[in-house]
Amino acid sequence: MHVFVLTGAGISAESGLGTFRDTDGVWAKFDPMKLATPEAFARDPQHVHEFYNHRRCGLLAAVPNPAHQALARLERQLVAEAGGVFLCTQNIDDLHERAGSRHVHHMHGELLKSLCTRCGARAPCTHDLSILDTCASCGSLNCLRPDVVWFGEMPYGMEEIEAALEASELFVSIGTSGAVYPAAGYVELARSLGIETFEVNLAPSENAHAFDRALYGPATEAVPAFVTELLEAR
Ligand code: BV8
Ligand code: ZN
């Protein structure tokens, strides 16, 4: 069985990482249009660096939760049966990987990587970035940015995502509000392909109507329950 899983900030909420649109979410304190756009970075790069440096510190102190671990268990079981999980995450954290998921696609990039705006080099990044940094590959000064996809920028691996979705028998959306495109459009694409759709979330998302089935509750309870039910039902 091949399952396509889309995750959002809600799966990492109980690991202590903020969501975007909940009342106490990250964007409630910061305006994304002032921080998560290339224009914002061009206008005030150090301010944007400080926003991501703060979130990187938080991530390094966080640990995966039972929801991340349940998806890693699902992947191990299905791979053992010649199936698999295509885990497409909107999140820029590495909690899926630290929980043991092997095939993770970060469509919005990764907070623990830097990207050189001059030569395109990517490098692991667990430290603060600033305008005083130089690129280890090309030596340019003040050219590094977090390797994340900002509003108005093309998400990573769109063709790979759509090919994986077409090859799946089940589409599962976990911990996302369904507010940001193109990720929010994947459930409609799944439906148009005749693929069963399932939502696992704290509360119904903006596109809850598009799902065949749903399970609501905190991810640390709902995701392990969902995985157990899916593995037992086959
Ligand atoms: C694109 C990375 C062109 C950085 C993010 C005007 C100008 C420019 C673009 C647009 C525009 N108008 C519309 C657009 C398109 C735009 C968009 O969709 N805007 C929205 C606001 C309308 N999209 C883009 O710009 C994208 N690129 O369009 O390029 C293109 C596209 C296709 C083809 C060709 C060209 C790029 C978008 C990526 C932006 N980068 N993040 C960073 O992280 O700082 S987006 C950001 O929001 C996050 O990454 C996240 O992925 C995304 C969605 O948030 P969620 O993950 O869903 O989190 P949220 O807080 O919203 O919801 C949390 C959910 O969890 C809730 O439902 C809650 O109930 C639940 N929850 C909470 N606690 C728990 C829980 N569930 C379970 N358990 C819990 N404990
Ligand atoms: Zn460079």
Confidence (pLDDT) at 18? 86
Note the pLDDT of residue 24.
Answer: 77
Any idea which ligand is nearest the CA of 200? Answer: 1
* pLDDT score at 106: 98
DSSP the chain: -EEEEEE-GGGTGGGT---SSSTTSHHHHS-HHHHSSHHHHHH-HHHHHHHHHHHHHHHHH----HHHHHHHHHHHHHHHTT-EEEEEE---S-HHHHHT-S-EEETTEEEEEEEETTT--EEE--S---TT-B-TTT--BS-EEEEEPPTTSPPTTHHHHHHHHHT-SEEEEES--S-STTGGGHHHHHHHTT-EEEEEESS--TTGGG-SEEEES-HHHHHHHHHHHHHHH-
Q: Which of 50, 151, 154, 173 to mutate to test the pocket of ligand 1 (most atoms within 8 A of CB)?
A: 151
In this prediction, residue 30 has a pLDDT band, given cuts at 50, 70 and 90, of confident
| Percentage of the residues of the chain whose pLDDT score is greater than 70 | 100
Confidence of residue 177 (pLDDT cuts 50, 70, 90): very high
Checking if the pLDDT of 32 tops 80, the result is: no
Domain boundaries, the chain: 1-15+64-108+155-234, 18-61+109-148
What is the topology classification, in CATH, of domain 1-15+64-108+155-234? Rossmann fold (3.40.50)
Please state which CATH number belongs to domain 18-61+109-148. 3.30.1600.10
pTM greater than 0.75 (yes/no): yes
Instruction: Report the pLDDT value the prediction gives residue 211, as an integer from 0 to 100.
Output: 98
- The pLDDT, as a whole number, for residue 22 is 81
36 lines ligand 1 (CB under 6 A): yes
Instruction: Provide the pLDDT confidence category of residue 26 given band limits of 50, 70 and 90.
Output: confident
